[in-house]
Amino acid sequence: MRVAALYDVHGHLPALEAVLAEPDVEAADLVLVGGDFAAGPMPAETVDLLRSQGARTRFIRGNAERELWAPSPPREGGPPPGVLEWTCERLGDERIHFLQSLPETFAAPVTALGQVLFCHGTPRSDEEIVTELTPDERLREVLEGVDVAVVVCGHTHVQFDRTVGAKRLVNAGSVGMPYEDEPGAYWALLGPDVELRRTSFDAEEAAARIAATGYPGEIPTASRREASEYFEGLARGGGR
């Protein structure tokens, strides 16, 4: 089985449309939506498009979904004021009930990789921070007790592929809000190995479509190094 892992779409419908049109995504046996896909400028349209992809599409929820009905205390890096309310209003009750029904993790057999565990932050938390800069010692702690060789995560919006001991931790990147050095939509293809992918799309057209929504938040940008250092600082300070 080949799996296209699409994480952190964040309601960016134009970026999602571009990725779903990729031949390798269209041909994948499974499309795994790895959380934080609804909260963003086009939440209802994004959820509806993903749900329309059929039975081969599986979902896990991320912290941005959970916070729609169970907001975390205000924190650095959290959602800006008004965004949760704006998003809930546009999603409506039925879509929110769908999001509430989603699991936090999902496991599937992948060609040549064996059983792969998909989570949002880490296997133990949807908001725990790990990055390409995380010390090996802490990665071993995060993956302790995990009984698969490959774990795929997201949450920090920066792609990486790391091995510590017998475990491999892959961040699929972000479709809709990447912190990378080149523009595009970032995702991963698994089977028979792991391929970290980037899809181009028309950024000017996307910006115009997003501006027309009246979204009260913003789509932040940062280099991968800036983002990784920022998130590691939060992690060292006990943040998530």
Over the chain, what is the mean pLDDT? Answer: 95
Summarised one tens digit per residue, pLDDT across range 22-52 is: 999 999 999 999 999 999 999 999 999 999 9
pLDDT greater than 70 at residue 142: yes
The DSSP result for 99-150, as a single string, is HHT--S-EEEEETTTEEEEE-SSBTTBSS----TTS-HHHHHHHHTT--SSE
Q: Name the residue type at position 75.
A: R
In 3D space, the residue among 73, 71, 13 whose CA is nearest the CA of residue 37 turns out to be 13
What backbone torsions phi and psi does residue 195 show, to the nearest 5 degrees?
Answer: -120, 120
Summarised one tens digit per residue, pLDDT across range 155-192 is: 999 999 999 999 999 999 999 999 999 999 999 999 99
The CATH fold of domain 3-120+172-219: Purple Acid Phosphatase; chain A, domain 2 (3.60.21)
* pLDDT value, residue 218: 87
pLDDT greater than 70 at residue 206: yes
Please give the model's pTM, rounded to 2 decimal places.
Answer: 0.95
pLDDT greater than 70 at residue 236: yes
